[in-house]
């Protein structure tokens, strides 16, 4: 059935012009986005985002089998938002793996089902390009079929500076060593008012975008994020998304957007409350509606919790991320997700949310596993029948 303004049952008249544009497949402008960010009609904005999500991906929800690897937590930036890092002057209290140690840590959990290593860490002044090249080469030799999604825009910027080379040279050397794509972290909120409060020592918003432009120019795909639920305003959220959309119009290099719910525990912002379900779901919907040129929106279950990540599959999200073995950044800030999730559990969460699980690799190509193949995988647009559901 083709949806109409009436069938959307909007509870806020201000959403009507936004709905008109969504129904017509038109781009939202800043005013529309502000309405979507601030309306009290959560279900209305969710229905609009779900419409867009189903147009793009039907009932499919993507996931992957991945493992996180943090080669160091030593960091010269001391961001108020972070509970993960230890300062360089207290490096002995943290960890910095040699290449051999990092490979050994990865070996603990990488079996033949893993398709991705997600590699990020602190800004360690001694870990220059030579270290990262050696690490990627060693990991590629040990796990030749595993994609390395590594180094945020902030880390790339820092490593180029610490190595006294330009970004172009850095990216070419890392690509040759095995870098496959880049994760989306470190973007936080681009507004300098906010960055001064939560991450004042780190790459600025403009520079983050410039590095992403350069990454895409070198033929690498990347993801992008927004950290919300701290000191930012709805307008600052909207402007962050609009900046990502503008860059994507230019480069087409972003594959996926991930809204990251701020976890305050053990940070210098511990006095702030954690995000609630309303903000989590409204931010997801807002992102799906504004980012009309970024194919995927991810509900990162590690930060949202399993239940909100499931419901988010009806508020614009089409991805849950993955098995995420050994995640440490959110755990340090009070995250309760544990050491990861089994593939079967991920699939059953997706089915219980009345979506169809589709395993993907980092570049969103479907992963065929003969021994696990199910009729759902062949027909990801049909709703899966299930015993219980919303
Ligand atoms: O860069 C740091 C954020 C990011 C906290 O690209 C915090 O596929 C919440 O970027 N509370 C790391 N967030 C996570 C990340 C990510 C995760 C999953 C998939 C992908 C991807 C990227 O988390 C950091 C920072 O922006 N962060 N501290 C905190 N206390």
The secondary structure of residue 58, as a DSSP letter, is T
Is residue 329 in contact with ligand 1, taking CB distance under 6 Å? yes
96 Cα distance to chain centroid? 24
Work out which ligand 1 atom sits closest to the CA atom of 222. Answer: 6
The secondary structure of residue 182, as a DSSP letter, is B
Q: How far is the centre of ligand 1, averaged over its atoms, from the C-alpha of 300 (Å)? A: 9
What is the structure's pLDDT at 390?
25
With a pLDDT cut of 90, the percent of the chain lying above it is 88
**Total count of residues recorded for the chain:** 390
Mean pLDDT of all residues in 90-103: 97
Would you tell me the crossing angle of helices 129-142 and 99-107 to the nearest 10 degrees?
Answer: 40
**Contacts of residue 357, Cβ cutoff 8 Å, sequence gap at least 6:** 61, 63, 346, 347, 350, 351, 376
CA pair distance 14, 28, nearest whole angstrom: 14
**Contacts of residue 377, Cβ cutoff 8 Å, sequence gap at least 6:** 356, 358, 359, 366, 368
Work out which ligand 1 atom sits closest to the CA atom of 188. Answer: 26
CATH code for the part of the protein at 59-359: 3.20.20.70
With a cut of 60, say whether residue 84 has pLDDT above it. Answer: yes
Mean pLDDT of all residues in 224-245: 98
Locus of tokens 């029948």: 385
User: How does strand 179-181 pair with strand 147-150?
Assistant: parallel
Is residue 223 in contact with ligand 1, taking CB distance under 6 Å? yes
What is the structure's pLDDT at 339?
75
CA pair distance 40, 17, nearest whole angstrom: 16
First to last CA, the chain: 20
Beta bridge partner(s), residue 227? 260
Q: How confident is the model at residue 369 (pLDDT cuts 50, 70, 90)?
A: confident
98: Cα within 13 Å, side-chain hemisphere:
2
What is the structure's pLDDT at 171?
98
Query: DSSP alpha helices (H): ranges in 252-374?
Result: 277-290, 301-304, 306-311, 329-332, 343-352
With a cut of 60, say whether residue 379 has pLDDT above it. Answer: no
Beta bridge partner(s), residue 223? 256
Q: How far is the centre of ligand 1, averaged over its atoms, from the C-alpha of 388 (Å)? A: 32
By C-alpha distance, which of 65, 62, 61 is closest to 353?
Answer: 61
User: How does pLDDT run across 207-218, given as a tens digit for each residue?
Assistant: 999 999 999 999
- Give the mutation target among 149, 187, 329 for probing the ligand 1 site: most ligand atoms within 8 A of CB: 329
User: How does pLDDT run across 99-127, given as a tens digit for each residue?
Assistant: 999 999 999 988 899 999 999 999 999 99
CA pair distance 13, 381, nearest whole angstrom: 32
Is residue 81 in contact with ligand 1, taking CB distance under 6 Å? yes
What is the structure's pLDDT at 381?
43
CA dist list (Å): 236 to 225, 289, 300: 14, 16, 21
Q: How confident is the model at residue 374 (pLDDT cuts 50, 70, 90)?
A: very low
Q: How confident is the model at residue 370 (pLDDT cuts 50, 70, 90)?
A: low
Is residue 50 in contact with ligand 1, taking CB distance under 6 Å? no
Q: How confident is the model at residue 382 (pLDDT cuts 50, 70, 90)?
A: very low
CA pair distance 293, 297, nearest whole angstrom: 11
- Give the mutation target among 215, 224, 227, 362 for probing the ligand 1 site: most ligand atoms within 8 A of CB: 227
Q: How far is the centre of ligand 1, averaged over its atoms, from the C-alpha of 273 (Å)? A: 18
By C-alpha distance, which of 329, 305, 304, 389 is closest to 355?
Answer: 389
With a cut of 90, say whether residue 371 has pLDDT above it. Answer: no
- Residue of the nearest CA to atom 7 in ligand 1? 262
84 Cα distance to chain centroid? 17
With a cut of 70, say whether residue 181 has pLDDT above it. Answer: yes
Least confident interval from 2-6, 9-13, 180-184: 2-6
Q: How far is the centre of ligand 1, averaged over its atoms, from the C-alpha of 329 (Å)? A: 7
Work out which ligand 1 atom sits closest to the CA atom of 223. Answer: 6
Q: How confident is the model at residue 201 (pLDDT cuts 50, 70, 90)?
A: confident
User: How does pLDDT run across 314-335, given as a tens digit for each residue?
Assistant: 999 999 999 998 899 999 999 8
Q: How confident is the model at residue 3 (pLDDT cuts 50, 70, 90)?
A: confident
Mean pLDDT of the chain: 93
With a cut of 50, say whether residue 340 has pLDDT above it. Answer: yes
128: Cα within 13 Å, side-chain hemisphere:
9
Is residue 208 in contact with ligand 1, taking CB distance under 6 Å? no
By C-alpha distance, which of 324, 337, 340, 362 is closest to 67?
Answer: 324
Beta bridge partner(s), residue 87? 75
Q: How far is the centre of ligand 1, averaged over its atoms, from the C-alpha of 77 (Å)? A: 15
CA pair distance 53, 287, nearest whole angstrom: 11
Mean pLDDT of all residues in 219-247: 98
Is residue 83 in contact with ligand 1, taking CB distance under 6 Å? yes
Is residue 322 in contact with ligand 1, taking CB distance under 6 Å? no
- Give the mutation target among 70, 260, 303 for probing the ligand 1 site: most ligand atoms within 8 A of CB: 260
Mean pLDDT of all residues in 49-53: 98
Work out which ligand 1 atom sits closest to the CA atom of 120. Answer: 12
371: left (phi over 0), alpha (psi -120 to 50) or beta: alpha
Is residue 301 in contact with ligand 1, taking CB distance under 6 Å? no
User: How does pLDDT run across 245-304, given as a tens digit for each residue?
Assistant: 999 999 999 999 999 999 999 999 999 999 999 999 999 999 999 999 999 999 999 999
* Torsion angle of the four alpha carbons 324, 123, 255, 384, in this order, in degrees rounded to the nearest 10: 10
Higher pLDDT, 205 or 386: 205
User: How does pLDDT run across 120-151, given as a tens digit for each residue?
Assistant: 999 999 999 999 999 999 999 999 999 999 99
With a cut of 60, say whether residue 384 has pLDDT above it. Answer: no
CA pair distance 80, 390, nearest whole angstrom: 39
């Amino acid at each position: 059935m083709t949806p109409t303004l009436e069938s959307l049952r909007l509870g806020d008249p201000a959403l009507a012009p936004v709905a008109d544009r969504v129904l017509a497949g038109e781009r939202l402008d800043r005013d529309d986005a502000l309405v979507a960010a601030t309306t009290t009609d959560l279900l209305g904005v969710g229905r609009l985002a779900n419409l867009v999500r189903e147009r793009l991906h039907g009932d499919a929800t993507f996931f992957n089998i991945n493992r996180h690897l943090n080669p160091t937590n030593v960091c010269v930036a001391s961001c108020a938002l972070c509970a993960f890092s230890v300062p360089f002057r207290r490096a002995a209290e943290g960890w910095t793996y040699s290449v051999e140690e990092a490979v050994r840590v990865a070996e603990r959990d990488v079996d033949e089902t893993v398709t991705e290593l997600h590699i990020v860490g602190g800004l360690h002044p001694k870990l220059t390009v030579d270290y990262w090249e050696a690490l990627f080469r060693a990991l590629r030799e040990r796990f030749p079929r595993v994609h390395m999604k590594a180094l945020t825009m902030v880390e790339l910027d820092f490593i180029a500076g610490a190595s006294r080379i330009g970004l172009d040279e850095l990216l070419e050397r890392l690509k040759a060593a095995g870098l496959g794509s880049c994760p989306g972290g470190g973007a936080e909120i681009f507004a300098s008012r906010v960055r001064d409060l939560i991450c004042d020592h780190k790459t600025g918003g403009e520079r983050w975008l410039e590095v992403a432009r350069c990454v895409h120019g070198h033929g690498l795909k990347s993801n992008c994020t927004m950290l919300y639920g701290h000191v930012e305003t709805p307008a600052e959220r909207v402007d962050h998304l609009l900046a990502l959309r503008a860059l994507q119009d230019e480069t087409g290099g972003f594959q996926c957007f991930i809204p990251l719910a701020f976890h305050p525990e053990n940070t210098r912002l511990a006095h702030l409350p954690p995000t609630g379900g309303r903000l989590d779901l409204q931010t997801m919907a807002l992102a799906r509606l504004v980012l009309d040129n970024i194919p995927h929106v991810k509900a990162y279950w590690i930060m949202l919790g399993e239940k909100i990540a499931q419901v988010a599959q009806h508020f614009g999200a089409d991805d849950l991320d993955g098995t995420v073995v050994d995640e440490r950044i959110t755990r340090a800030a009070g995250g309760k997700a544990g050491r990861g999730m089994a593939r079967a559990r991920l699939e059953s969460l997706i089915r219980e949310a009345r979506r169809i699980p589709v395993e993907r690799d980092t570049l969103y190509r479907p992963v065929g596993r003969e021994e696990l193949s199910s009729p759902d995988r062949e027909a990801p647009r049909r709703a899966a029948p299930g015993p219980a559901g919303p």
